Amino acid sequence: MIHTRRSFFQHASLATLSFWLPSSYAAATTTSLARSTPEAQGVSGSGILDFLDAVAREKFELHSFMMLRHGHVIAEGWWKPYGPDFVHTMYSMSKSFTSTAVGFAVAEGKLKADDKVVSFFPDDLPAQISENLAAMRIQDLLTMSTGNEKEPTQACVKEENWVRTFLAQNIAHKPGTQFMYNSAATYMCSAIVQKVTGQTVLDYLTPRLFEPLGITGMRWETCPRGINTGGWGLSIQTEGLAKFGQFLLQKGQWNGKQLLPAAWITEATQFHIQQPGGDKPDRPKSQNDWLQGYGYQFWRCQGGTAFRGDGAFGQFTIVLPEQDAVIVMTSENKNMQGQLDLVWKHLVLAIDAKAEKTADLSRLKSLKLALPQGRKTSPAATDKKFTLEANDLGLKSVSFVFKENACVFTADGQNITCGLESWHRGEATFPGTPPRLISGGKPKSPVPSKIASGAAWTDDHTLVMQWRYYETPHSDTVTCVFEGDTVTLSFLNSITAMNPKARDTRAPLKGRA
């Protein structure tokens, strides 16, 4: 089901737009978010501690967390080796930024939500344009209701021209009538913005959104033709997400200026189309955060007016208009609904809850992810160098040098220093890393990754290294088994580890001293 109400931006002149000012606005008029305590902003700090307890108890892996109330940051924390200065891969949380770029282009009169998609790409159209393809609008891209027979993203990213491949797909249903998650549709929004502005979405948003909000250091992957991937590929700092959420909460206002018309924010974040699905034995539809309706690249949330940007493995910007609050998380979790449940159970209920005393949130300053468990040393912890058998990674040799508090692993000149009782940060270009969910946008040649590494001996012959790519959600576990003058290195990336039946595509490396 899709709402047939005509979009405000399909008719109205910008002179008619009304501006809205929330109660939080006065507290967020600079490019730096103000800091406060939970209790000073009407939030029970004990509820935040309960949230942290639940995250640990239920073994959710969070990388960062930030909560805002009335425009103030009231709680923030990063699980080491993640930290506030580092960007983090957003996956589909990127989509909400692409939608916002479309909003700026609409506000500037460069396009309309009901413009036909085919009108922007005359040189990339198939020989025969079906009636459904001809009818597809930008709004259908934004609401994931393009009418595709199959989700087209994997087909697109295998080709050089993603636009042409998308337009060649079978549009089996009337656009605007059926929801089907579609990352390539968001890429098409990015391509359209670049077509009408002459800039990538990243460059276009920089002076309009990122610079006014004081967000720096962001990156965005591109397709082979230099178009930002749109539906994924943005890397940004946690506070950048929080500022974006506050910007949405303030209906496009920041620092005394209306950057984006309030009417667009309302249009983009409200219910437009219903996702398919219903009650399940273990969860009624009303409590399923993926069945509350979809906007323009924003998800509606259960139980009221809340909405969110949402990326794979738990990259969230949750906006709570009724509570005048924003909650941001980056993470690597398979059970994203379970992660959201902790927000509804602990954080939202803490808002306006009576607090008998000020909670001690110092725990937020000492959060860390567990290092590999085991011993610091072993009889086998002697310096070693091995020549490798032929392998798919193209590596010729590996070596291990053991120091008092670290193991230096080297593969064909690339060093990864693993702390034996702490994370050690470095950079390396190792074949097949970092893990990623989607191939589209991946650099053609390997580039250095920021890696935080730790290691431990699980027995006399087995050294386990963990490499955390701390600008992504992901990690690699490398198990090294030493037997006589041989070594075997086995790989398991954290995406594969979520599926007990899956196996890492990298074959073990075998070497001889």
Q: Are residues 106 and 155 in the same domain?
A: yes
Mean pLDDT of 402-421: 96
Q: Are residues 390 and 359 in the same domain?
A: no
Q: Are residues 239 and 327 in the same domain?
A: yes
Q: Are residues 350 and 400 in the same domain?
A: no
State how far the alpha carbon of 65 is from the alpha carbons of 238, 244, 361, 422, 455, in Å. 8, 15, 13, 22, 26
Q: Is residue 310 part of a domain?
A: yes
Q: Are residues 321 and 400 in the same domain?
A: no
pLDDT of residue 123: 97
pLDDT over 60 at 226, yes or no: yes
Mean pLDDT of 413-432: 95
Count: domains in the chain: 2
Mean pLDDT of 121-144: 98
Q: Is residue 194 part of a domain?
A: yes
pLDDT over 60 at 28, yes or no: no
* Residue span of the structural domain in which 354 resides: 59-364
Domain stops at, among 333, 364, 395 = 364
Helix (H, G, I), strand (E, B) or coil at 145: coil
Q: Quick check: pTM over 0.75?
A: yes
pLDDT of residue 446: 80
Mean pLDDT of 127-132: 97
Q: Are residues 170 and 317 in the same domain?
A: yes
Q: Are residues 404 and 443 in the same domain?
A: yes
Mean pLDDT of 310-329: 98
State how far the alpha carbon of 357 is from the alpha carbons of 84, 227, 394, in Å. 28, 52, 60
Q: Are residues 343 and 485 in the same domain?
A: no
Q: Is residue 166 part of a domain?
A: yes
Alpha carbons 178 and 173: distance in angstroms, whole number: 7
Q: Are residues 123 and 269 in the same domain?
A: yes
Tokens of 198: 């002459």
DSSP single-letter state for residue 431:
T
Q: Are residues 391 and 482 in the same domain?
A: yes
Quote the mean pLDDT of the chain: 93
Tokens of 27: 């507290």
pLDDT over 70 at 456, yes or no: yes
Say which residues have a Cβ less than 8 Å from residue 454's Cβ, sequence separation at least 6: 371, 372, 418, 419, 420, 422, 423, 424, 465, 466, 468
CATH number of the domain that residue 341 is part of: 3.40.710.10
Q: Is residue 8 part of a domain?
A: no
